[in-house]
Amino acid sequence: MAFTLQDLGRNVRELRESRPSRLKPGKPLLQYELADLAGIPSSSLCNIERGKYKNPTWEILSKVAAGLECDVSDFFTSGRREVRPEQIALDEMIDLIIKERLEKILEERRIKSGPGQS
C-alpha cells in the first residue's frame, strides 16, 4: 500500500500530540504552538495534518520537524507507534481481569458438571 498525504498528516499529528504543550500544561502540543515553533502559518500545518497540503516541500517539513525536535524521516515511518507506560499498565490490568474472570467461569462449570466430568 502506498504512503499517502493522509499518512504523512496522521504521523505529523501523532508526533505533535505526543509532545507536551508549553501553553497548556497537561495537554498535547497545540497546532498553533507547533506552527509558531516551526515558523509556518497555522493553516499550513492544519492542511498538512489533514492530508490536504498538496505539495509539502522539504523546507516546510524540515521546519515542522525542527519544531517537533525530530527528524523528517519520522513523518514517513508508518506503523511505528509509541505506547505510553500508562497504556501498557492499563492493557496488562485488562488482561489480568479477563484471565481471572475466565478462570472463575471455568471453575464454576467444573463444579456444576460434577467431579470427573468436563
Q: What is the pLDDT of residues 85-104, one digit of tens each?
A: 787 788 888 888 998 998 99
Q: What is the pLDDT of residues 46-76, one digit of tens each?
A: 999 999 988 899 999 999 999 999 999 889 8
d(CA 43, CA 46): 5
Higher-confidence residue: 63 or 82?
63
d(CA 19, CA 17): 5
What b/e sequence results for 46-85 when a residue is b if at least 16 CB atoms lie within 10 Å of its CB, and e otherwise? bbbbebebeebeeebbebbbebbeeeeeebeeeeeeeeee
d(CA 82, CA 99): 26
pLDDT-above-70 percentage for the chain: 91
Domain extents in the chain: 1-82, 83-118
CATH classification code of 1-82 = 1.10.260.40
Q: Tell me: pLDDT of 21 over 80.
A: yes
User: What is the rounded average pLDDT for all residues in the chain?
Assistant: 87
What is the value of pTM for the model shown? 0.63
Higher-confidence residue: 74 or 77?
74
